[in-house]
Structure 1
Amino acid sequence: MTINTEDILNSILESISRIDYVKADEIPNIDLYMDQVTTFMNDHMKSSKRYEDDKILTKTMINNYAKNELLPPPLKKKYSKEHVMVLIFIYYFKNILSIKDIETLLKPITENYFHTDKELSFTDLYEEVCSLEKSRIDHLKEDITEIYRTSSETFSDADEENREFLRLFSFICTLSFDVYVKKQLIEKLVDALPPSDNRKHKK
């Protein structure tokens, strides 16, 4: 089995270098209908899709998020710029967290900063967090390169036919372990958050 893992790594690193976030000034300042929101999200976040026909956001998803109180209700069926920012947060969180955990995490944010006149606006909060994530890209590339290097040194005694696959398997397992540990950490941090008044009332 012939697998060029170095080509795969280079492709991954190039993809990571191209990662960017939807900047606040790219989101319309006017309120949008649901169709306009889904179109905006699918257009501006298409680079994160695995397959061409994947959907970033659908009407059903938006309705479910509102039903589960992840997303504040729209005003006269229209969604604000801040709604779009919340949806972007949900999009990334849903890959690793349960709906309940996302609600626990976002509820204090939406309760305190969504459509308020506080000095720290929701837009300020969004930009601060996203720029911090963007600054992590070089560190991520270094970490992944190091994991690849150490994985490439495994299974030196394996037969040549299967060695590359085993090293790729080792690379994937190590990356998966990294994700697993970070997911566990995130869940513990979410569990440590005090419940909001609404959640207390539900219980």
Structure 2
Amino acid sequence: MTINTDQLLESILDSLDRIDYVKSEDIPDIQLYMDQVTTFMDSHLASTRRYPSDKILTKTMINNYAKNHLLPPPEKKKYSREHMLLMLFIYYFKSFLSITDIQTLMEPLTGKYFQKEDGYNLESIYNEVMELEKSQVDVLKDTVRRLYSTSQNSFSDASEEEQDFLRQFSFICMLSFDVYLKKQMIERLIDQLPAPDFLKKK
């Protein structure tokens, strides 16, 4: 079967233009019960699902976040706007970082900025980081185009039938190598952070 990688690439790049994040002003400024939290996340992060059956956030996940010190415990079974912001950070990190790395990364964030009223707080940090990330979409698109172009010039001596798969495979490998290297850098940076006290006791 011939894979039309040109069309696939354009579809992927078009999807990057539609990437958006949950805006802090869209988060209700009232405390929410767990069912309300999962409903909100399912609604606002639906576009990030790979398959319709994928779970965005479940009650078990939320309980595990609190149990593993990723999230401060709720107040009277209700979650604040700040809890929601932390859950959004966790949602993005969990796809490529270990629980221990997320714990190390989140501990100073919650320790210094959770329920802080003056200066930087969780909402201002979230807003600034998300704006910085959105500004990188065009840079990312240029990188993807360059890697795709390189992959399409690979395996020039293979048969036409073989080239179709091998070039797509090389494109996937180059994208994967980029992810692998960035993950290595992220882990090195996290290793420079002090381990949370609850991890030191283990």
TM-score normalised by length of structure 1: 0.97
Give the distance between the partners of 2:53 and 2:187, measured in 1 at CA: 31
- Count residues with an aligned counterpart: 202
Give the distance between the partners of 1:143 and 1:131, measured in 2 at CA: 20
Tell me the residue number matched to 1:143: 143
Tell me the residue number matched to 2:43: 43
Tell me the residue number matched to 1:88: 88
Tell me the residue number matched to 2:184: 184
Shift of 1:92: 0.5
CA contact (8 A) 2:147 2:174 kept: yes
RMSD of equivalent CA atoms: 1.0
Tell me the residue number matched to 2:130: 130
Tell me the residue number matched to 1:22: 22
Give the distance between the partners of 2:186 and 2:194, measured in 1 at CA: 15
Give the distance between the partners of 2:196 and 2:156, measured in 1 at CA: 53
Tell me the residue number matched to 1:69: 69
Shift of 1:198: 4.1
> Are 2:54 and 1:54 equivalent residues in the alignment?
yes
**Shift >3 Å, 4+ stretches:** 196-200
Give the distance between the partners of 1:166 and 1:186, measured in 2 at CA: 30
Shift of 1:199: 3.7
Aligned amino acid, residue 38 of structure 2: T
Unaligned stretches of 5+ residues in structure 2: none
TM-score normalised by length of structure 2: 0.97
Unaligned stretches of 5+ residues in structure 1: none
Tell me the residue number matched to 1:108: 108
Aligned amino acid, residue 13 of structure 2: L
Give the distance between the partners of 2:100 and 2:199, measured in 1 at CA: 10
Shift of 1:195: 2.3
Residues 109-149 of structure 1, C-alpha deviations (whole Å, 9 max, x = no match): 00000012231111001101111011110100010010000
Aligned amino acid, residue 19 of structure 1: I
